[in-house]
Structure 1
Amino acid sequence: MDSTTPGLDVLFVLLGAIMVLAMHAGFAFLEVGTVRRKNQVNALVKILTDFAVSTVAYFFIGYGIAYGVHFLVSAKVLTGAEGSLFAPKGYDLVKFFFLATFAAAIPAIVSGGIAERAKFHPQLIATFLITAIFYPGFEGMVWGTRLGFQDWMGATFGSGFHDFAGSVVVHAFGGWVALGAVVMLGARRGRYRKGGGMAGIPPSNLPFLALGAWILSVGWFGFNVMSAQKIEGLSGLVALNSLMSMVGGILSALLISRNDPGFIHNGALAGLVAVCAGSDVIHPVGALATGAIAGMLFVWVFNQCQSKWKIDDVLGVWPLHGFCGALGGIACGVFGQESLGGLGGVSLPAQIFGTGLGVLIATVTGFVVYGVLKAILGLRLSGEEEFAGADLSIHRIGAYPEEEVPSYDISPVLDDPRRVA
């Protein structure tokens, strides 16, 4: 068993990385199903390109900032040759792959908020900066040893900040970065009327939206369970808690939204976002409660965001990831207590402080990065480009090109006796 365990660990983390990679298709289809038809190609291209840029930024810069590891050595060293600082069988390489898919989730989250009116290349620059510098800085504090943060948390609160699978490190961070991006970008033209009303823009394709939610939900079990990163840390509790929180989010969103299909599918994601932090320490009933609160919180904040606060967050990524991620960080400190059936070892003050710090860093990051890019390059498409849609304005092709090209009568050509069959 000692000789096979390294290989099993590699396979375990690799399968997790593949499942989280597949989640990016979920991000894409969730956005495709929500935006108008004239912006669907742009949604697909953004998610894929952001993933590529994120991986490069994280490989050359970000992972080193987070964990002090770089890959600019020989392949023999990377695969764990004797005396190497790298683990056998390339374990550290698949660990990078796994964590790179997490890093790429940040721009994927932001993408949904800024859809339908954002320039393409400034967003790629923002993606590079966030995944190379800002996200790894916070990631290294919580999941690494950077700045002695966790040691200080333990000394101050009696326990470190617990975020097993990224309610705060990934989701809340991405959601609060997105707030800055959305505010700097401004609302879509025509979204809010001068008299104070709001123009309704329904989802363009509910089956695609549902497909995106399903892909994300299935991949999430790799996101959460494989966060153990070693097969010896595998826990069925994480899987069951993820399931219970997901269904809690679905049912509460169903109830509070009065059967709205968009909210119901996003309710599943709200529950999964919220359970990430404490999925390894809370009781399944606590997970169900966490998901139910998250589903209701998402629906309420989304409605407030759109109608009262006039923040045009197209997919509701700030309510979904920002608020529900923060909820998950705090809920871990509540439902993780032994008195409520949890495994213990968590501190509510530590969870509140760590969550608040993550929200603060992410919010500052979003406003600074997108504020600077707005001043230097601009963030928005022109009015004409936005009216035509990002598909034609940026990529020169729509999602349904046969509907956008004039149809010509070719019967004279077919009837020409000179035509060769």
Structure 2
Amino acid sequence: MVSKDVGDVLFLFLGAVMIFAMHAGFAFLEVGSVRKKNQVNALQKILVDWSMSTVIYFLIGYPIAHGMKGFLISTNMLSGQHGLELIRFFFYLTFAACIPAIISGGIAERAKFYPVLIVNAVLAGVAYPVLERIFWWDEKFLGIHSLIKSLTGSTFTDFAGSVVVHSFGGWVALPAIILLGARRNRYTNSTPPAVSNIPFLALGSWILCIGWFGFNVVSAAKIDGISGLVAVNSLMAMVGGVLA
């Protein structure tokens, strides 16, 4: 749980901003990967997915995740002294919006805009919030925690969305990739389609690396404690991956 200490609230807010900025990384990475004729579509998809995720998570997703009555954040929460709760909404919204961005790269150049938008609205507004509630806020919800413990003998712990965000996004992307198949002419031409902009790929990767410190470190919820360890682990994982 997030402390109400002013420093910790600011810590959470800055982390949310860093994760929000990761969408620039997703955008540059995808734009650099697709062919030049599809660059505008890739940018549009990332931007609209973020906007749709924000609206849907605000109206439906956050109330589901936190067990609120009805499908709207209460006016009391919006009008009262609830800075921590609203910043927490912003923080977990950025998690929800990352799922469509993860999927987007996997299906680039192969999916129509509006069907993807509808699916991503369901993911950000219903599917992810249910997982968020099960694994982070309500251990008794749907009895999933009890089932996992009875099957494995251990409780389930998810730190920084390793399963709830990243694995879930990958699990959704995999069947989508299989159903859509390869890009047109990917394996029929003697020369497969080349990436359109390697500098954009590098820039997108760099922005994502910076954003990961917001994603991982701020998930510790407090400035002290394990945040330093998480920062060092994240850093060493990045540089180790580069050297490998």
1:140 aligns with 2:139: no
Query: 1:31·1:112 contact (CA, 8 Å) conserved in 2?
Result: yes
Report the CA distance between 1:233 and its aligned residue: 4.7
How far apart, in 2, do the equivalents of 1:5 and 1:99 lie? 17
3-state DSSP of counterpart to 1:141: helix
User: Given the superposition, is the C-alpha separation of residues 59 and 77 from structure 1 closer, same or farther in structure 2, using an over 3 Å criterion?
Assistant: closer
Matched positions, count: 238
Report the CA distance between 1:152 and its aligned residue: 4.4
Alignment of 1:346-357 (within 5 A): none
User: Given the superposition, is the C-alpha separation of residues 43 and 36 from structure 1 closer, same or farther in structure 2, using an over 3 Å criterion?
Assistant: same
User: Given the superposition, is the C-alpha separation of residues 231 and 5 from structure 1 closer, same or farther in structure 2, using an over 3 Å criterion?
Assistant: farther
Larger relative contact order (C-alpha < 8 A, sep ≥ 6)?
Answer: 2
Report the CA distance between 1:198 and its aligned residue: 6.9
Unpaired segments ≥5 residues, structure 1: 82-88, 253-421
Alignment of 1:228-243 (within 5 A): 228-231=220-223, 233=225, 235-243=227-235
Alignment deviations for residues 93-134 of structure 1 (CA, whole Å, 9 cap, x no partner): 111111111111111111111112321111111111111112
How far apart, in 1, do the equivalents of 2:79 and 2:8 lie? 14
User: Given the superposition, is the C-alpha separation of residues 147 and 230 from structure 1 closer, same or farther in structure 2, using an over 3 Å criterion?
Assistant: farther
How far apart, in 1, do the equivalents of 2:112 and 2:224 lie? 45
Alignment deviations for residues 40-83 of structure 1 (CA, whole Å, 9 cap, x no partner): 11111111100010111111112222221365322x544655xx
Query: 2:218·2:227 contact (CA, 8 Å) conserved in 1?
Result: no
Task: Specify the structure having the higher radius of gyration (Cα).
Answer: 1
Alignment of 1:324-343 (within 5 A): none
Unpaired segments ≥5 residues, structure 2: none
User: Given the superposition, is the C-alpha separation of residues 165 and 198 from structure 1 closer, same or farther in structure 2, using an over 3 Å criterion?
Assistant: farther
161, 166, 169: which one pairs with 1:166?
Answer: 161
1:207 aligns with 2:199: yes
Using the aligned pairs only, state the percent identity: 60
Matched AA of 2:143: G
Report the CA distance between 1:139 and its aligned residue: 2.3
220, 227, 239: which one pairs with 2:212?
Answer: 220
Match of 1:99 in 2: 92
Q: Which runs of 4+ in 1 moved over 6 A?
A: none
3-state DSSP of counterpart to 2:56: helix
3-state DSSP of counterpart to 2:5: helix
Query: 2:4·2:84 contact (CA, 8 Å) conserved in 1?
Result: no
Matched AA of 1:239: A
3-state DSSP of counterpart to 1:220: helix
1:245 aligns with 2:244: no
Report the CA distance between 1:240 and its aligned residue: 0.4
Matched AA of 1:64: P
Matched AA of 1:61: I
User: Given the superposition, is the C-alpha separation of residues 79 and 149 from structure 1 closer, same or farther in structure 2, using an over 3 Å criterion?
Assistant: farther
Query: 1:13·1:95 contact (CA, 8 Å) conserved in 2?
Result: yes
How far apart, in 1, do the equivalents of 2:183 and 2:77 lie? 51
Alignment deviations for residues 149-177 of structure 1 (CA, whole Å, 9 cap, x no partner): 33444465443212211222111111121
3-state DSSP of counterpart to 1:104: helix
Report the CA distance between 1:249 and its aligned residue: 1.4
Query: 2:185·2:192 contact (CA, 8 Å) conserved in 1?
Result: no
Query: 2:60·2:72 contact (CA, 8 Å) conserved in 1?
Result: no
How far apart, in 2, do the equivalents of 1:9 and 1:49 lie? 31
Match of 2:46 in 1: 47
| TM-score (ref. length: structure 2) | 0.89
Alignment of 1:18-417 (within 5 A): 18-69=17-68, 71-74=72-75, 76-78=76-78, 81=81, 89-145=82-138, 146-154=141-149, 157-193=152-188, 199-231=191-223, 233=225, 235-252=227-244
3-state DSSP of counterpart to 1:203: coil
Query: 2:65·2:137 contact (CA, 8 Å) conserved in 1?
Result: yes
How far apart, in 2, do the equivalents of 1:40 and 1:232 lie? 42
User: Given the superposition, is the C-alpha separation of residues 175 and 231 from structure 1 closer, same or farther in structure 2, using an over 3 Å criterion?
Assistant: same
User: Given the superposition, is the C-alpha separation of residues 228 and 142 from structure 1 closer, same or farther in structure 2, using an over 3 Å criterion?
Assistant: same
RMSD of the alignment, in Å?
2.2
How far apart, in 2, do the equivalents of 1:199 and 1:127 lie? 33
Report the CA distance between 1:183 and its aligned residue: 2.1
Query: 1:54·1:132 contact (CA, 8 Å) conserved in 2?
Result: yes
How far apart, in 2, do the equivalents of 1:79 and 1:134 lie? 28
| TM-score (ref. length: structure 1) | 0.53
Matched AA of 1:73: S
